[in-house]
Amino acid sequence: MAYLIYPYDESQCAKWDDFVMHHSVNGTFLHTRRFLSYHPEGRFEDASVMVYNKQELCAVLPAAAQTVDGRRMLRSHPGSTFGGPVFGEELLRASRLVELVADLDAYFQQQGFEACELKITSDLFSTRPTDALQYALYHAGYTDELEIAACLPVEGRTHDELVAEYSFNKRYDMKKCLKAGITFREIRTEEEIAAFYDLLCWNLQKFDAKPVHTLEELLDFAHSRLKDEVIFLGVYDTDGRMVAGACLFHFAQTNVLHTQYLATAPDVKGYVPSTFLYDAVIQTSLAHQVKTVSFGTSTHDRGRVLNTGLIQNKEGYGALHSLNRIYTKVYREAE
């Protein structure tokens, strides 16, 4: 093997996080142990590894072991939106990444895994393009699946310039919202975040789903664990009732503001609060001087189904597109 690969243990937490945040080209706070450790012990069987080139840490891989379709599978950590190898600039060479993927495959098979699934960091959240990693995975025999996401470049643009790119329907909806007197502000108190969480649960209940995070976890994010990375917004009517809200994640390395959760009230008439909420996210991005707003994916079933209404809604604000890639390789067929 060209690299030395070791299982992660908690004594390496500080070293892991320092590498991800300060020495990698495609690491984000979602890859840090600070973030991943919010999951209670026992929720996942951690299978993360640290990769060394001689004595120097050069890559980490946040991962968990799961049984999928009868196979023991190594997967990008389910507690994070994306994972895959997080590596330093010194590995940003095609030959080195080909060697890295080959060594990881060999190690995982030695550990008894029958398949591997890696959801790599999108270039939107990487400081350098990761085409060489994508090639290395292809070279190693991985198959890929694509999810389409929406993003809006805002750097160097004014709010008026951005609104001018909204569709006619979005501009019309905005006028009705402004006429109704609704406003927005950033929120931080337990009561405000709980009100937002109630809206979120109602929204997801329509799809027989629940938020990935509990209210307690969101409060932990806001007041402790992610206090520098998370922003909550509340949209209010003239009676002071919350009619929409958002939970946003800020990715500092690439200065991207991502809409982790959006929610609207069920019984609003006369205007469309979701339109005002999207605009509030855009205004917030300008206030925080971010480069790009990420509106997330608009697909289901691992990218096979396009939610046409959802992607058209995001495109209505002038959004462009980015791709998320999921790579899978079967080492041994299930018996």
Instruction: Return the pLDDT at 334.
Output: 58
The predicted model scores a pTM of 0.94
* Whether 322 contacts 149, CB under 8 Å: yes
Q: Residue 40 has what pLDDT?
A: 62
What does each of the 335 residues of the chain score in pLDDT, given as a tens digit?
799 999 999 999 999 999 999 999 999 999 999 998 876 666 789 999 999 999 999 999 999 999 988 899 999 987 778 889 999 999 999 999 999 999 999 999 999 999 999 999 999 999 999 999 999 999 999 999 999 999 999 999 999 999 999 999 999 999 999 999 999 999 999 999 999 999 999 999 887 888 888 999 999 999 999 999 999 999 999 999 999 999 999 999 999 999 999 999 988 999 999 999 999 999 999 999 999 999 999 999 999 999 999 999 999 999 999 999 999 999 987 55
**Residue 63 β-bridge partners:** 76
**For every residue of 12-65, which 3-state class applies, written as one string?**
HHHHHHHHHHHCCCCCCHHHCHHHHCCCCCCCCEECCEEEEECCEEEEEECEEE
**Annotation: CATH topology of 4-146+324-330:** Aminopeptidase (3.40.630)
CA nearest neighbour of 300 among 68, 145, 80: 145
Structural contact between residues 309 and 150, judged by C-beta atoms closer than 8 angstroms: no
pLDDT at 335: 58
Which residue shows structure tokens 């009705």? 176
Neighbour order of strands in the sheet with 292-297: 45-46, 63-68, 71-76, 115-119, 320-330, 143-153, 292-297, 256-264, 242-251, 230-236, 183-187
What ranges do the domains of the chain cover?
A: 4-146+324-330, 155-290
Domains 4-146+324-330 and 155-290 share a fold: yes
Residue 218 is inside which H or E element, if any?
helix 215-220
Architecture of domain 155-290: 3-Layer(aba) Sandwich (3.40)
CB count within 10 Å of CB 252 equals 12
Give dist(CA 324, CA 322) in Å, integer: 7
Helix, strand, coil share of the chain (percent; to 5)? 35, 30, 35
Helix axes 131-139, 94-110, angle to 10 degrees: 50
Of 100, 32, 103, 108, nearest to 74 (Cα)? 108
